[in-house]
Amino acid sequence: MIPAGFAYSRPSSIDEALGLLASHGSEVKVIAGGQSLIPLLKLRLAHVDRLIDIGRIRELRGMRDLPDGGYEIGALTTYADILAATRLAWVREAVEGIADVQTRYRGTVGGSIAHADPASDLPAIALALDYAAVLRSGRGERLVPLDGFFRGAFHTAMEHDELLVSLRRGPLPAGVGGAFVTLEQPASGYSLVGVAAVVGGRPGAVSHARVAITGVGEVPYRAKAVEAALLAGATSAEAASHATDGVTVNGDIHANPTYRAAMAAVYARRAIETALAHAA
């Protein structure tokens, strides 16, 4: 299909992009790889007055270690870039399972986070790693933890004049292990349930726990009841039984809420046990 008409701008710097965002109001969308937005525009499920194409702003690319031992990923870093550079084997394995080769070479980290698809895998991985979004506007820069950044389906804490320039996290605790497991819809590959876990310690004596779930609720979320149970000494199965506490579970033609909630517990247990098996 052909999308409705729109104006198009391609800024060459962050400052130019911020100027365009500030001057054109809320009916503007930022495009990077375009792997999510363009299909929606073609199907006329989304509408914009203007597209701002940030795909050639070099300063938004790259991955770097931070002086405090943390890590930063530029918004235009692609899935393929992560595969080439990450030192976390479980992240590499997870990203290899996202979409297809063409999408991994075009799709960007910032685009996935800003798009806030309820079934996207990358937000759950980033939540489990305690990343925060670095948002910049003409008013300055602010750091917003991803825990709380996702406000609803395709809706985030970003203001209309803000640009997501990178993701940033602090150092990971020593000895933690990680895992991402997913129950995919066979035709589309989207997660009916996806669980990322970053856990330290040993069964019954967990010292660090981050468990994030996608595909289940309105947004990817931290399963804090699971984390608290693990830290209190619960078994992986006991903790995983809290995977949907406080969450309105989605239902659709592929999985009703009862089935999805049951699978959230199953896959949370698997993610926790796998992460613990890799913890030092």
CATH number for 15: 3.30.43.10
What's residue 167's pLDDT? 98
List alpha helices for 97-203, DSSP H: 101-106, 109-115, 121-128
Residues 143 and 184 in one domain: no
- Does residue 2 form part of some domain? no
Amino acid at 45: L
Residues 183 and 255 in one domain: yes
Does pLDDT of 163 surpass 90?
yes
Number of folded domains that form the chain: 3
256 CB contacts (<8 Å, ≥6 apart)?
none
Residues 154 and 181 in one domain: no
What's residue 1's pLDDT? 66
Domain with 124 in it: 60-169
What's residue 28's pLDDT? 85
What's residue 188's pLDDT? 83
Span 112-125, mean pLDDT? 95
What's residue 43's pLDDT? 76
Residues 88 and 29 in one domain: no
* Dihedral, 77, 80, 82, 83 alpha carbons, nearest 10: -170
Q: What pTM was estimated for this model as a whole? A: 0.95
